[in-house]
Structure 1
């Protein structure tokens, strides 16, 4: 199977690092024209320079996804420069923890404005361009926690669930216009955040190997995913080979499903064990 995306006109949001950067790099390596945006201007420009080696063309702009007017200006700029938009990869938005006892409604709404509404703003801005050419692909980057709720991390659970529902709804309403919409739901994709999770353990209590073994107990594949594991599926969905796929919800999670709900308990238990280990070492 040959996936040829040369000269495709692609927007990738949240593309300065991690999964977004890997996706943008994969499109660029295939010769696509790639427009990227993110909040961090310095990281974004560095990514843009790296993409220029292979991409047909590159546009890099700092865009606040909570600003409807700014989103529309960016989308219109890309469409005007390249004569249209073929692919939108909605990747912007991070996870947020918290539970009933620690969160305020305003914090959940703030997260929703970045995630739910950020995705909605970009879709609303690109669809008129795709309808005009009667061809488009919209690929939503979401999280498994939105498809399989967990007992913690309420903002991520409910706002990702909303994004997945939006993708499925549009995946039914837009194909008549030649626009296909699908969602990819991430499991444990390692973009550096697991280094931070490891540092949250009591200092000197465990090795990174012990921490990883704990975290991966819920992943049947037995490893963390890589950003490249996501990029390959994105390229497929953006290609002509995926011309009859819309409204699909695909987990990129190494086989993890309901196991994700056990992870908060697993992590708390491990943390307590490590605290006890440190205490025992100090009294020895």
Structure 2
């Protein structure tokens, strides 16, 4: 179930796109010269960009698995990005074999890969939409066909809101997406930050100035309010490697500079 909703001439490879830059950080091949050049600029300014992206991806995997283990059978993954296995449906179905997943992204390149990698196993769908218009997501036919809003849902905003500027009302976006979710739902959210190396991370936004979305890095005190209405489960809002790690963390090393906060909230 895939709604591409675009023509080939809408794919712009001349400007870097955050989803394709993220694919490059993860070692993927679904990116273009403009994406690679911008990503390398970020890496020069912030050498922790690659391990941060990988740690964030691992956080997503653990948070989805945890949510599925708590009985969540439905996931709305907004800002899906270039498919990189294991994807949300693959992780969730290791715990809940019939888990349903609605994938959403605003990049036609993501849509081009969605049919082959995300939606060919049933109970999963993809459609193009922008998180800045949350009502269009909630009202989309694909979402309504997949997701039963009478049952708990995991809303996923992983590595997404730092591409929403303050004047685009990220708090309002999260509120709109989450306000009608039933009791027992989850909010899985991570966000890039300057909190762990302020000396270099603030400059990383320069590489995104010509991208399709600019970068707004926020501190913990600005990120935690996104969980209003979704009290955080243990261990709270933490640096992503520290969120319920499934392998021991070294006492020192690169994980101490991972530039993401992450957490999971539970709707009472």
Q: TM-score range by the shorter chain?
A: 0.3 to 0.5
Tell me the TM-score normalized by structure 2. Answer: 0.48
Task: Tell me which protein shows more helix as a share of its residues.
Answer: 1
Tell me the TM-score normalized by structure 1. Answer: 0.46
